[in-house]
């Protein structure tokens, strides 16, 4: 098939490469000319995605993938259009900002031809495919959905860093606006993806038709919002455990030995493009979801809570040399989207602390571009806060952090045996004494 992929970001580019590797002819569209040039030169534009560079080189060299900045160069000849344009959520109002997606949809509609299958993979509030994209595509193209073209929602369900393995492991969910659209989407994904055998699923792994776009939209929001709510509960347990001399990790391990308990790990922050964002999308159409809102607010408060605990132990953080270990939102991924580093640094600065940041994946100049003063191991420091679970921090010892008075481990990754003699707060374990 001839496929157009709109937006070649950390999800869109691997998808385009996957489709090309399955034998389809793919044109990727992106407004970033530099990214387009990198793709056409077979240069991976962002690091950290397993297998992407090799698969990109193969797709470009085979002639099955190319990139462009022009919708007119990709949409008219496409049999399938896959849209992975980001949806922004306002950090204050929690309302979705559709401006990027609206612009992309308008450009697609302008060049849409009869017979095209249009699939949105960007996570959306329930009802968006039917109530927003369908009328916009119809009005701007003059075509009728279900007659002249088919419209489907199929959420991406992959994890940055392991996208190609996740595409095989997880069922591909689809929800169409018509029976014909569902049949076409199922056939397309079965031709573009392969699936691992899984005996833990209720039905065979593969393309699962949920019967409506709304069901597919809600499935993605539900699975991600569940994680945020679960982590909020784990964080609530962790703070209580710390105050009452209990190790919450032993408690969670014991609970999860029973098949109906699946408590997640607590942590200083919930970051990334998905987990802190999609509950807000859910709330945009279900404002009465008090449990969802409470968990999101509680998780967002964790950096402030842990910094406050450090202040309680030391009396004051004013003038102290503090270091936040980890700018990335999670270990091993060079990405700061909604990272806990930002509220952690803000909480320290608001108390008059001198704050520096370390991250093994970022250069000093990159950290400065993020608004941070970089830190190098060996420099004197008073307080250290572990914000990211990078593997490099697991064997960290006081010798690398001269003069350290307190370690706050917000990810429970450091080794207690290496910190003997230095006060250490670990989220979810009995509170340290200074």
Q: Strand 172-176 and strand 150-153: pairing?
A: antiparallel
- Note if 405 is an active site residue: no
Question: Given this model, what pLDDT does residue 432 score?
Answer: 55
- For each of the domains in the chain, give its residue range(s) and CATH number, in order of start: 2-211 (3.40.50.720), 213-434 (3.40.50.720)
Whether 40 has a pLDDT exceeding 70, the answer reads yes
- Note if 220 is an active site residue: yes
Q: Which of 134, 220, 405, 433 is catalytic?
A: 220
Whether 433 has a pLDDT exceeding 60, the answer reads no
Q: Which of 55, 274, 334, 433 is catalytic?
A: 274
Whether 74 has a pLDDT exceeding 60, the answer reads yes
Whether 434 has a pLDDT exceeding 70, the answer reads no
Q: What's the mean per-residue pLDDT of the chain?
A: 96
pLDDT tens, residue by residue, 125-163:
999 999 999 999 999 999 999 999 999 999 999 988 899
The pTM of the whole model exceeds 0.85: yes
CA atoms within 13 A on the CB side of 378: 1
* Per-residue pLDDT band at 273 (split at 50, 70, 90): confident
* Per-residue pLDDT band at 186 (split at 50, 70, 90): very high
pLDDT tens, residue by residue, 79-122:
999 999 999 898 888 899 999 999 999 999 999 999 999 999 99
* Per-residue pLDDT band at 47 (split at 50, 70, 90): confident
């Amino acid at each position: 098939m001839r496929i157009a992929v709109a937006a070649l970001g950390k999800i869109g580019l691997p998808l385009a490469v996957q489709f090309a590797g399955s034998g389809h002819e793919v044109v990727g569209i992106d407004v970033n000319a530099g990214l387009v040039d990198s793709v056409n030169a077979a240069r991976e534009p962002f690091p950290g995605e397993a297998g992407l560079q090799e698969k990109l080189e193969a797709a470009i060299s085979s002639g099955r993938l190319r990139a462009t900045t022009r919708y007119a160069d990709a949409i008219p000849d496409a049999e399938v259009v896959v849209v992975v344009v980001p949806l922004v959520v306002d950090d204050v109002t929690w309302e979705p900002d559709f401006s990027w997606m609206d612009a992309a949809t308008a450009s697609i509609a302008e060049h849409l031809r009869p017979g095209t299958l249009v699939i949105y993979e960007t996570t959306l509030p329930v009802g968006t495919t039917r109530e927003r994209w369908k009328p916009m595509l119809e009005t701007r193209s003059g075509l009728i959905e279900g007659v002249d073209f088919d419209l489907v929602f199929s959420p991406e369900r992959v994890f940055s860093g392991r996208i190609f393995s996740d595409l095989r492991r997880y069922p591909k969910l689809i929800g169409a606006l018509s029976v014909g659209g569902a049949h076409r989407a199922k056939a397309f994904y079965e031709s573009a993806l392969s699936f691992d055998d899984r005996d833990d699923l209720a039905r065979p792994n593969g393309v699962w038709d949920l019967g409506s776009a709304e069901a597919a939209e809600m499935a993605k929001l539900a699975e991600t919002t569940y994680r945020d709510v679960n982590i909020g509960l784990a964080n609530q347990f962790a703070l209580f455990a710390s105050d009452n001399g209990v190790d919450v990790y032993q408690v969670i391990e014991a609970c999860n030995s029973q098949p109906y308990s699946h408590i997640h790990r607590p942590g200083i922050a919930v970051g990334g493009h998905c987990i802190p964002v999609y509950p807000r999308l859910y709330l945009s159409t279900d404002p009465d979801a008090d449990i969802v809102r409470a968990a999101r607010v509680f998780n967002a408060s964790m950096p402030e809570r842990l910094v406050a605990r450090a202040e309680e132990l030391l009396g004051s953080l004013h003038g102290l040399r503090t270091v936040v270990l980890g700018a990335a939102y999670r270990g091993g991924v060079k990405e700061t989207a909604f990272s806990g580093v930002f509220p952690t640094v803000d909480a320290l600065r608001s108390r008059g602390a001198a704050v520096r940041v370390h991250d093994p994946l970022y250069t000093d100049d990159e950290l400065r571009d993020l608004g941070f003063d970089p830190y190098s191991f060996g420099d004197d420091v008073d307080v250290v806060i572990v914000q990211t679970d990078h593997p490099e921090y697991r064997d960290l010892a006081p010798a690398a952090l001269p003069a350290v008075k307190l370690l706050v481990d917000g990810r429970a990754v450091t080794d207690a045996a290496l910190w003997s003699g230095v006060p250490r707060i670990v989220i979810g374990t009995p509170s340290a004494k200074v």
